[in-house]
A and B are shown apart, each in its own frame.
Chain A
């Protein structure tokens, strides 16, 4: 009820929300495969590889926070915690694993 009233007073622009989600998901997809290249080349296996990915996505979220959201994520994301810091983390995981195994196989095996 409270949130509903808040949205009635300060309405949200859906096209902007979609645009921002798209931008974050683009950044995630590009950087996830990049981290896969690094993890495979460094020869990480099992859990360290996934931890590497999580650290990498955290750093990228920090970069988005500083350079794109200018330190005010609530102005660009409806739920900053879920949309910026946790947004699309698991959708990028598959491309991470793809390049991770590819480069591990190319460089190490």
Chain B
């Protein structure tokens, strides 16, 4: 009814050894297939021999599989964002606005968050400070007009 303890330990051992970067993403799905047999073998064990303690190999397999599964959950979760404004905006200006790889139902790609003050146009380039009255520019124009006025006469 039970596979031998050595074989089960071998399976658990090979599961740990297969802990490589390429398989981290698929680990969650692989280990769902690992926790179910250990629960089932516990069920079989307790129905056949209710009063004996649980064999060590089942316990080890269960603990190893939930450890791997929770590692997979942590690794596949979304990355955290820096909370300090300087680091957060620095990260954004370094990386720029890019697609996140997720798509809306309408077929538009979801973009990462961008600079919330981009509409001010402070970075120059285009028009610069759109929506703001260019006080310095107007003052310069006026000064030149005042200076130029007597000369033209």
Interface residues in chain A, defined as those with a beta carbon under 8 Å from any beta carbon in chain B: 10-13, 15-17, 19-20, 23, 26-27, 30-31, 34-35, 37-38, 41-43, 56, 59-60, 63-64, 67-69, 75-78, 103, 106-108
Partner pick for A20 among B38, B73, B80, CB 8 A cutoff: B80
A37: chain B residues within 8 A (beta carbon)? 35, 39, 66
Complex CA–CA separation, A2 to B78 (angstroms): 33
Q: A11–B85 contact, CB under 8 A? A: yes
Contacting pair B80 A23 (CB below 8 A): yes
Chain B, residue nearest A68 (CB): B80
A60 (CB) vs chain B CBs: closest residue:
B70
The answer to whether B80 and A13 touch across the interface, beta carbons within 8 angstroms, is: no
- Chain A residues, Cβ within 8 Å of B70: 31, 34, 56, 59-60, 63
- CB-CB under 8 A from A60, the residues of chain B are 70, 74
* Residue of B54, B74, B84, B86 touching A43 (CB-CB under 8 A): B54
Neighbouring B residues of A64 by C-beta, 8 Å = 74
CB within 8 Å of A: which residues of B?
35, 38-39, 42-43, 46, 54, 59, 62-63, 66-67, 69-71, 73-75, 77-88, 113
Pick from B63, B73, B80, B83: contact of A30, CB under 8 Å: B73
Kindly list 6 other residue pairs between chains A and B, CB separation below 8 angstroms, not including A12-B85, A30-B73: A13-B84, A15-B81, A34-B66, A37-B35, A43-B46, A63-B74
User: B80: which of A35, A63, A76, A78 is its contact (CB, 8 Å)?
Assistant: A76
Pair B81/A16 contact, Cβ less than 8 Å:
yes
Please give, as numbers and ranges, the residues of chain A lying within 8 Å of B81 by CB-CB distance: 13, 15-16, 19-20, 76
Closest to A40 in B: B39
The answer for the CA separation of A16 and B67 in the assembled complex, in Å, is 28
Contact of B43 among A12, A15, A56, A106 (CB under 8 A): A106
A53 to B74, CA, bound (A): 17
Contact call B39/A41, Cβ cutoff below 8 A: yes
Task: Give the distance in Å from the alpha carbon of A56 to the alpha carbon of B70 in the complex.
Answer: 9
* Contact flag A68-B79 (CB < 8 Å), given A37-B66, A41-B42: yes
Are A69 and B74 in contact, with the CB atoms below 8 A?
no
- Residues of chain B within 8 A (CB-CB) of A31 are 70, 73
A87 to chain B, nearest CB (A): 12
Q: In the complex, which residues of chain B have a beta carbon less than 8 angstroms from the beta carbon of A41? A: 38-39, 42, 62
Cα distance A16–B78 when bound, in Å? 12
